[in-house]
């Protein structure tokens, strides 16, 4: 049998330096008989040479459209917007299965070219749990960004551009220093909703590591939100980190009116929306309409004059603040599924993902018909 090809494409999303494959996992695939091709990518946290050293074939940046159609293309984030038909199999986060903006146009490209999408968000194990996710580092980095934003806000400033940290130790030290200089960290109160999930656990871990009192880390999950929002309790913490997995419409967690009603006594200063369901019509935090970026990490919520400022961080690629660790963990978790690619016509993880893709194609065709 011919060896299994796999093609690691470059990332075109600004500031994305994580990678779906790392030199460590690429080596394990090669050892298992894969032929791994890697596009040169100056923005990736791993140097091209690190891949070359373990036996990958290096090719030009963004050359995947010329790859043999037998080679699945693996990447992380969305492809640039285009109407060009897609003929390859892509393994990536495409953000088009939950009615996000432009979802049916993305799927139409696969339909037109005969390609297949295996969406990384929907690769699951036999119990329905995702095989690989960046959640923990997203929550960890999001909470860090929230604490940094709070420190700046205490000084009457907005959080300036964020840059990836070398490692977790450096991130924790930087956050602690900023908070201490701005008036101390111990008294900071934070609320994490979705605290039992991957992102939520990461956020709680960061708050512990920067020294918040355990009593000041409020942890909510399904039980605590069961009564239905909006929740005035959220206004009584400094930082609110939303980490829920939004599966269906739920009552809003916060609204402009309860924020306005709280007046100048509102404590809530920073919202970190790790879940980032920004364009999802069911976003439970309907206070902002854009994803923020590392360049400009916060967006203000308009508040009544005289009331304290309120900023939202809605960065949808937070783990990139810890790119090496986040990539290594994600890629290691994905590896057992990748090793099953040669059997993808029978291996459950891939057949389930393909069935879902086909269902979504049908929905996209219907949507496009209605819009035309």
Ligand X SMILES: NC(=O)c1ccc[n+]([C@@H]2O[C@H](COP(=O)([O-])OP(=O)(O)OC[C@H]3O[C@@H](n4cnc5c(N)ncnc54)[C@H](O)[C@@H]3O)[C@@H](O)[C@H]2O)c1
Give the residue numbers annotated as catalytic, written as ranges.
77, 95
Query: Which residue of the chain is nearest ligand X when measured via CB?
Result: 197
The residues binding ligand X (CB under 6 A) are: 133-135, 138, 193-194, 196-200, 220-222, 225, 243-245, 250, 274-276, 315-319
Closest contact distance (angstroms) between CB of 231 and ligand X is 10
CA 243, 235, 220: angle at the middle one, nearest 5? Answer: 35
198 is in an annotated binding site: yes
By DSSP bridging, strand 311-313 and strand 299-300 are antiparallel
- What does each C-alpha distance from 276 to 139, 244, 260, 267, 271 come to in angstroms? 12, 10, 23, 22, 11
267 is in an annotated binding site: no
Q: Which is nearer to ligand X, 88 or 201 (CB)?
A: 201
Closest contact distance (angstroms) between CB of 309 and ligand X is 22
Chain centre distance of CA 117: 18
55 is in an annotated binding site: no
Q: Which is nearer to ligand X, 198 or 266 (CB)?
A: 198
Closest contact distance (angstroms) between CB of 316 and ligand X is 5
315 is in an annotated binding site: yes
Closest CA to 93 of 106, 111, 108: 106
Closest contact distance (angstroms) between CB of 53 and ligand X is 30
- How many Cα atoms within 13 Å fall on the side-chain side of residue 44? 26
221 is in an annotated binding site: yes
Q: Which is nearer to ligand X, 162 or 318 (CB)?
A: 318
Helix (H, G, I), strand (E, B) or coil at 302: coil
Token pair listed for 73: 């293309």
Q: Which is nearer to ligand X, 274 or 341 (CB)?
A: 274
Closest CA to 140 of 77, 201, 215, 216: 201
Residues forming the annotated binding site for NAD(+)? Answer: 129, 197-198, 221, 225, 245, 274, 315-318
Residues forming the annotated binding site? Answer: 129, 197-198, 221, 225, 245, 274, 315-318
């Amino acid at each position: 049998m011919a060896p299994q090809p796999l093609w690691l494409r470059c990332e075109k999303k600004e500031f994305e330096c994580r990678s779906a494959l790392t030199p460590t996992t690429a080596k394990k695939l090669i050892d298992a008989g894969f032929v791994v091709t890697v596009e040169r990518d100056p923005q990736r946290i791993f140097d091209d040479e690190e891949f070359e050293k373990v036996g990958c074939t290096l090719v030009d940046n963004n050359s995947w459209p010329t790859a043999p159609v037998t080679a699945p293309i693996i990447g992380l984030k969305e492809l640039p917007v285009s109407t060009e038909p897609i003929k390859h199999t892509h393994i990536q986060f495409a953000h088009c299965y939950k009615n996000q903006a432009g979802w049916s146009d993305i799927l139409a490209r696969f339909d037109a070219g005969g390609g297949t999408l295996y969406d990384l968000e929907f690769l699951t194990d036999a119990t329905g749990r995702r095989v690989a996710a960046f959640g923990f580092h997203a929550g960890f980095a999001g909470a860090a960004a929230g604490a940094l934003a709070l420190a700046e806000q205490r000084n009457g400033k907005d959080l300036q551009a964020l840059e990836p940290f070398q490692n977790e130790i450096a991130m924790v030290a930087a956050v602690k220093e900023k908070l201490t200089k701005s008036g101390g960290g111990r008294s900071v109160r934070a609320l994490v909703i979705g605290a039992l999930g991957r992102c939520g656990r990461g956020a709680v871990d960061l708050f512990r590591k920067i020294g918040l009192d355990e009593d000041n880390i409020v942890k909510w999950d399904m039980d605590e939100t069961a009564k239905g929002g909006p929740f005035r309790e959220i206004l009584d913490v400094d930082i609110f980190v939303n980490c829920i997995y939004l599966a269906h419409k739920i009552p809003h967690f916060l609204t402009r009116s309860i924020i306005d009603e709280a007046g100048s006594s509102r404590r809530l200063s920073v919202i970190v929306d790790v879940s980032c369901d920004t364009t999802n019509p069911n976003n439970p935090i309907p206070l902002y309409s854009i994803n923020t970026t590392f360049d400009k990490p916060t967006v203000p919520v308009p508040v009544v004059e005289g009331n304290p400022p309120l900023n939202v961080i809605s960065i949808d690629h937070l783990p990139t603040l810890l790119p090496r660790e986040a990539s290594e963990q994600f890629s290691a978790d994905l590896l057992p599924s990748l090793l099953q690619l040669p059997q993808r016509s029978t291996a459950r993880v891939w057949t389930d993902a393909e069935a879902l893709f086909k269902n979504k194609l049908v929905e996209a065709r219907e949507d496009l018909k209605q819009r035309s």
